[in-house]
Chain A
Amino acid sequence: METYIIKRDGKKELFTIDKIKNAIAKAFLAVGAFATEETLGSILSHLRVHNGVTVEEIQNQVEVALMAEGYYQVAKAFILYRQGHTEDRETQQRLDFMMNYVQASNAAEGSKFDANANVEHKNIATLIGELPKQGFIRLNRRLLTERIKTMYGKELSDRYMNLLNQHFIYKNDETNLANYCASITMYPWLIGGTKSIGGNATPPHNLKSFCGGFINMVFMVSSMLSGACATPEFLMYMNYFIEQEFGEDYYKRADEVVDLSLKRRTIDKVITDCFQQVVYSLNQPSGARNFQSVFWNISYYDRYYFQSLFDNFRFPNGEAPHWESLDWLQRRFMNWFNEERTRCVLTFPVETMALLAENGDIKDKEYGDFTAEMYAKGHSFFTYVSDNADSLSSCCRLRNAITDNSFSYTLGAGGISTGSKSVLTINLNRAIQYAVRNNIPYQAYIEDVVDLMHKVQLAYNENLKNLQEKGMLPLFDAGYINIGRQYLTIGVNGLVEAAEFLGYEIKDTPEYAHFVQELLGIIEKKNKEYRTRDVMFNCEMIPAENVGVKHAKWDREDGYVVPRDCYNSYFYIVEDKSLNVLDRFRLHGAKYIEHLTGGSALHCNLEEHLSQEQYRQLLRVAAVEGCNYFTFNIPNTVCNDCGHIDKRYLKECPHCHSKNVDYLTRVIGYMKRVSNFSEARQKEAAQRYYAEKQKAPTC
């Protein structure tokens, strides 16, 4: 009977004794000895080769056999020879990875470890960024498990690695060493420049140095974060410098020529040139981030939010910010950005409009109308609606209670500082199916896993504190980020798929609502239990940029029920055509998001733009339903031939009539070309149901 062995690449090969003989003979030669046929025979007599044995196993047996026969020096040579080959294979793997990356259809597809790379094109710079990722993952795991062992013992550390390797949990952003994301206060920069975070810039003192300095500052801050950098005060500070330059009533004189150069620029032109400088610079690939651009977010406020956040705020000259001029500047920026996006694919800033709701409508009617107007003009941005100006969302991940509306002369406005230090995600679909299979009540099982996740996050937090104590985190020390207002985030993924597995209909029913509340309630309970004076936890439906695709793939491979190729971050099934727009708002309404203390943005996909009146009504719907965070997503058309960008979802370029068009859409929080998504994500985008506009009058 023939015996087959399994090679390292998993392929079967007919077993022959000659290869082993050769390897042993070489090991003898390496120590200056020679193996006779007799010696080889006695060594080989120790081996037990059976069908399906792996190469590694045989080599292990050879090591033991050499030692059993007393050839210790030869055994050592053999072990070193194996190690040499292992290292060579690792280099070969890297080479293979490199060649695959070079040949991949786009950067997301080529990236093996973290496909959310916000990279438009692949090149040598992005490749350099990809290569050390595996090393970072190992390093981060080692750092974390060592800490877990010290804090909670080896058993918990092993269980963590087990759950991680079996894809019950997922540690987000393991390919980076920095803490995740932050909404920063720029006050320390305003009064001290960038010296305190390792730069050499003095504080900004006019509009020009504000714009230039702001760009540098955001690049610096972003290089010390693995995720987003939100600057909720960007326009407010800019407004201050414009006022300093052109007077408090500048917005009433926007057409006035203020430039003595041949350009004869007006105030308005000077301002929009500033917008252009900042926005185009920050959308550039960044050297410090492996050629990714920074991930930059800003906020707009209605009158009430502005008052709540900045009532006590004072600029270094003692002045308070002015609502009237800021209101104008916010509108001007949004309109400018919307128009600029027809000229160029501009991903950043990701914008959030913060609106206060009252009695089922937007309290600041002017801003409700303005928000609807901007959506109707085709602008793509997020809206955050809250019954209380006591919370703010500055990016897709973060929603924080504003417990601190104070103002300090060293740190600025307290309310805007927030962030997530680290995200650890539970794969609910797998966890629940596993529990059911093993006759464990799934609630108990989830609670158990979530409890472990909190301990892991606390261990991460200790490591971060350690780095801070050694002066490695200047953003915290300099006050850009308040560590006490940073969350440890428990992410959830696969919630809808888990509910489907349990037999729930995914629509607004008391049963499904109860399931969601119970499940997320378990996490919230643990978040409260583990909260201390220094540590806060929140819970979010992670945008699942690539985790959603990975989870679906891994779960399917392991025989779990997987109804689609990507687990999304919505409470409804993306491709379900029976749900209308109102149903979707309801499924992201108060009942469902009650226990989510982090982000859970409803991405309302539409095929066509609505009218201002219709968007205005949807803002009311959001207020009534308590859907606090949402955006409208209408694919924009980009012509691959003439470069024309159209805000509509078209099959043909209206400019040159080419059918070679691509789409810009928001898959994971920010606008990107569909062709730059990974393949699985492209599929998901294609399956999305963009609700058709009601073929009925606007009324």
Chain B
Amino acid sequence: MTLALNLSGCPCHCPGCHSQHLWEDIGEPLTEELLGGLSERYKGLITCVCFMGGDAAPEEVQHWAEYVKELRIKTAWYSGRPATPDTFHLSRAVDYVKFGPYIEELGGLKSEKTNQRLYKRVGEEWEDITSVFWKKSL
């Protein structure tokens, strides 16, 4: 059960972006008070906090991931940058990471053609688990 936080001020500006409102600097600043409050409110109910975006300040996102991790909640980061866990230094606190800009012809994570990749930390390694989104039917 994941609590997703949209981080605004996204510098990626992918053509066809489904959240263009997040290009601007909107919403309220992410503070310890805000994040702590949310964690407290959903304590015992959520199992993961996902930061959606934040490519303008990846170090900050990782700082907040560390904060969340201390609360024994898993963390995920959805980044739009064209990177891989091998090319980008990630904090130990990040359990899941998505890399890759949105490219309209290839589609998002649900598309089997997608360039975007979702990785899961398994010990020291990262496993590509993008295919979990490709479940066909029930």
Contacts and interface: CB of A to CB of B under 8 A. Distances in A.
A263 interface: no
A519 interface: no
B2 A697 contact: yes
B99 interface: no
Contacts of B52: 695
Interface in A624-676: 624-625, 646-648, 654
Contacts of B47: 617, 699
Contacts of B138: 376-378, 609, 647-648
Contacts of A621: 1, 45
Contacts of A699: 2, 47-48, 74, 76, 95-96
Nearest to B18: A695
A174 B45 CA distance: 43
Contacts of A582: 1, 42, 45-46
Interface in B1-54: 1-4, 42, 44-48, 50, 52
A697 B96 contact: yes
A697 B132 contact: yes
Interface string B92-109: 000110000000000001
A235 interface: no
B81 interface: no
B129 interface: yes
B1 A617 contact: yes
B72 to A, nearest CB: 13
Contacts of A694: 1-2, 4, 50
Given A582-B42, A609-B138, A621-B45, A696 B129 contact: no
B76 A696 contact: yes
Interface string A590-609: 00000000000000000001
B137 interface: yes
Contact of A696 (B2, B42, B137): B2
B118 interface: yes
A624 B46 CA distance: 12
B48 A696 contact: yes
Given A582-B1, A618-B1, A648-B137, A696 B45 contact: no
A695 B4 contact: yes
B78 interface: yes
B69 interface: no
Interface residues of A, number: 25
Name, among A378, A609, A614, A697, the residue most crowded by chain B CB atoms within 10 Å (CB to CB). Answer: A697
A618 B44 CA distance: 11
A656 to B, nearest CB: 15
A694 B50 CA distance: 9
A360 interface: yes
A585 B44 CA distance: 13
Contacts of A45: none
A620 B109 CA distance: 28
Contacts of B3: 580
Interface string A373-411: 000111000000000000000000000000000000000
A695 to B, nearest CB: 7
Given A377-B138, A618-B1, A696-B2, A624 B109 contact: no
A698 interface: yes
A498 B106 CA distance: 49
Given A378-B138, A617-B1, A618-B1, A697 B46 contact: no
A72 to B, nearest CB: 80
Task: Bin the interface of chain B by size.
Answer: 20 to 34
A624 B48 contact: no
Contact of B50 (A360, A625, A696): A696
Nearest to B46: A582
A22 B61 CA distance: 90
A654 B137 CA distance: 10
Contacts of B137: 646-648, 654
A648 B96 CA distance: 27
Contacts of B1: 582, 614, 617-618, 621, 694
Contacts of A377: 138
A376 B74 CA distance: 22
Contacts of A580: 3
Interface in A351-389: 360, 376-378
Name, among B1, B46, B120, the residue most crowded by chain A CB atoms within 10 Å (CB to CB). Answer: B1
A620 B2 CA distance: 14
A654 B95 CA distance: 35
A588 to B, nearest CB: 14
Contacts of B74: 699
A696 B120 contact: no
Contact of B44 (A360, A646, A697): A360
Nearest to A650: B137
A360 B44 CA distance: 9
Contacts of B50: 694, 696-697
Interface in B88-138: 95-96, 109, 118, 120, 129, 132, 137-138
A699 B45 CA distance: 13
A695 B78 CA distance: 9
Nearest to A634: B138
Nearest to B44: A624
A248 to B, nearest CB: 34
Contacts of B76: 696-697, 699
Nearest to A622: B45
A695 B130 CA distance: 12
A545 B52 CA distance: 40
A694 B120 CA distance: 17
B24 to A, nearest CB: 20
B78 A696 contact: yes
Name, among A360, A694, A699, the residue most crowded by chain B CB atoms within 10 Å (CB to CB). Answer: A699
Given A360-B44, A378-B138, A696 B4 contact: yes
A552 B45 CA distance: 35
Given A377-B138, A699-B47, 7 more contacts: A609-B138, A618-B1, A620-B44, A624-B45, A694-B1, A696-B2, A697-B132
- 8 smallest CB-CB distances across A and B, nearest first, come from A696-B2, A696-B50, A378-B138, A617-B1, A647-B138, A699-B48, A694-B2, A697-B96
23 contacts: A582-B1, A582-B42, A609-B138, A614-B1, A617-B45, A621-B1, A621-B45, A624-B45, A646-B137, A647-B138, A648-B137, A694-B2, A694-B4, A695-B4, A695-B52, A695-B78, A695-B109, A696-B2, A696-B4, A696-B50, A697-B129, A699-B74, A699-B95
Interface of A: 360, 376-378, 580, 582, 585, 609, 614, 617-618, 620-621, 624-625, 646-648, 654, 694-699
Interface of B: 1-4, 42, 44-48, 50, 52, 74, 76, 78, 95-96, 109, 118, 120, 129, 132, 137-138
